[in-house]
Structure 1
Amino acid sequence: MKYNEDITGIKINVEAVDITIGDDVKDTIRKCITRLSRHYDRIEWADVYLEDKKDKKTLQKQVSIRLGIPGNDPFASEYGDDFHALLTSVESKLQRQLEKR
């Protein structure tokens, strides 16, 4: 499933590999990107990758986010069992990277 959205000038590209994400996950993604844009106002785009590997017993889900900003693009990824918790964790990692700039 691919999903694109434009929020306050930031183009969000979501790619969910072999799964369909619900509106609650989309809302969490929107909130995550909005909060990150408060820390760094020059974010041009965000690529969000969601994957659910059902053949694994633990840590089935993966969330990766790459932010498009001038210079090197911040990137963070996390494995776990809940997309909402993973998005929060990845947001924290990206926030720390943005604070260093």
Structure 2
Amino acid sequence: MNYTENYRGIKIDVQAHQVDVPVGLQAQIRKSIDKLLRFTPTINAVDIYLNISGKGKTAERILGMRVGIPGPDVFSEEKAKDRWNTMLRSVTDKNIRQLQKGKD
């Protein structure tokens, strides 16, 4: 399921292959954007990529997030068997570290 949303003037594009995006995850994406906005006020777009690799017990979830800002974008990815919300928090924190590094 893919969906696009405009949240606070930021284009959110979620590409989910073999995955249904629950409403709770959509709300968590908005919270992540609010958190990112504390570190950079100029976010143009956020792209979220969700995928499941493998089947059964070997299935691994993959979540990537690209934050479109003026200058080079930041991107991080997480591969795990965790819940989507946990992985989203992790990639958000990774992107925040990249944003902070870029300010130095």
TM range (shorter): over 0.9
Deviations 1:4-56 (A, max 9, x none): 11111111000101221110111111111111012100110000001122416
Q: Percent identity?
A: 37
Aligned residues: 101
Does the aligned pair in 2 maintain the 1:49–1:64 contact within 8 Å?
yes
Residue 56 to residue 77, structure 1, CA distance change in 2 (3 Å) = farther
3-state DSSP class of the match of 2:95? helix
Does the aligned pair in 2 maintain the 1:10–1:44 contact within 8 Å?
yes
Give 5+ residue unaligned stretches, structure 2.
none
Could you list the structure 1 runs, at least 4 aligned residues long, displaced by more than 2 angstroms after superposition.
56-59
3-state DSSP class of the match of 1:25? helix
Distance 1:68 1:38 in 2: 15
Distance 1:6 1:72 in 2: 21
Deviations 1:34-93 (A, max 9, x none): 110121001100000011224163461111000111111100000112101100100110
1:14 equivalent in structure 2: 14
Q: TM-score, structure 1 length as denominator?
A: 0.92
2:48 equivalent in structure 1: 48
Give 5+ residue unaligned stretches, structure 1.
none
Q: TM-score, structure 2 length as denominator?
A: 0.90
